[in-house]
Amino acid sequence: MSVKTEPGNFFEDFKPGQEIVHAAPRTVTEGDVSLYTALYGSRFAVQSSDMFAISLGFEAAPVDDLLVFHIVFGKTVPDISLNAVANLGYASGRFAGAVYPGDTLRTVSQVIGAKENSNSKTGVVYVHSTGVNQRDEPVLDFVRWVMVRKGDASSPAPETVVPDLAPFVDERELVVPEGISLAGYDFDLAGSSLTWDDYQVGEKIDHVDGMTIEEAEHTMASRLYQNPARVHFNQHVEKDGRFGRRIVYGGHIISTARALSFNGLANAFRVCAINAGSHVAPTFGGDTIYAWTEVLGRIEVPGRSDLGALRLRTVATKDHACADFPDKGEDGKYHESVVLDFDYTVLIPRRN
């Protein structure tokens, strides 16, 4: 019998230096944007209003930065993580030009590292993925590493290469979309008067609100991003897996936490970098997500008096409100409620 289906790549199939062109370019539509809003309820004015965005120099309301991330990421799943045990982390994520409805995105990845685990049944693969638009202009690139099963435990492992990754994106690599000016930024319409000047390094913000994840919503989100990882969809298989049920796509938690952060960071109008991130624990349908944020750094953007950047660390928890800022203990272990630790950089208006 001939076999025409694709089983996905296993750990032994990856080789450092290998380039993978991912299938199915994706044209982003207004429908994608509306569904993304319905899933997370994000309220940032720049992504919500053409009028507001145009007043700052955008062509129209740009596509939410994390929706861009999920679409670019989703393209990689069939080739990189279809046989994954877990997505372990992110680094060196840099957003470039704005994306608008009608743009078509596609993704290419390069394998930059691999290391077999001691059990000889799995290994960690490091990939650098780049998303470009229909004009071959980069819109986003990032590194992620993922634990992947071996198809045959006795097969030889790829050469061991562990890349040296920067702890955060250098401020010289942060991109402000061309033609943007915040001189006329309307703080009333944005929903907050807080500017770059009002945040201090080390302060912590409890975003207060919680959002319960419904089974249908997290499944729909993964479909929206064309992310076919079995652990998110196939309960028939996952009932016999590690957790006995499907797990929520980690990016769903990132977007939920970002939406919750509006309460306290409403003027953080653009994510310009993903510095680091880890999915600390799995999340399941029915869990309620809360979030808090620590300000890690204040960055002056060269030549700009109208905007600055904040390096932020957002921690998401499940079924635990964040008034006590649950975090790591002295032993380095996370509080049992923590599911996400996400380090990223945003652009925000300065007080003129």
Region 269-274 average pLDDT: 98
Determine which of 75-89, 207-221, 277-291, 309-323 has the lowest per-residue pLDDT on average: 75-89
Query: Where is pLDDT greater, at 350 or 241?
Result: 350
- Kindly tell me if the per-residue pLDDT of 327 is higher than 60: yes
Region 117-131 average pLDDT: 95
Is this model's pTM higher than 0.75 or not?
yes
Domains in the chain (CATH in brackets) are 7-151 (3.10.129.10), 190-213+248-352 (3.10.129.10)
State in Å, rounded, how far the first CA of the chain is from the last one. Answer: 70
152-180 pLDDT, tens digit each:
988 898 899 999 999 999 999 999 999 99
29-75 pLDDT, tens digit each:
999 999 999 999 999 999 999 999 999 999 999 999 999 999 999 99
282-303 pLDDT, tens digit each:
999 999 999 999 999 999 999 9
- Kindly tell me if the per-residue pLDDT of 7 is higher than 90: no
pLDDT band at 229 (very low <50, low <70, confident <90, very high): confident
The count of C-alpha atoms lying within 13 angstroms of the C-alpha of 100, restricted to the half-sphere facing its C-beta, is 11
Region 105-121 average pLDDT: 96
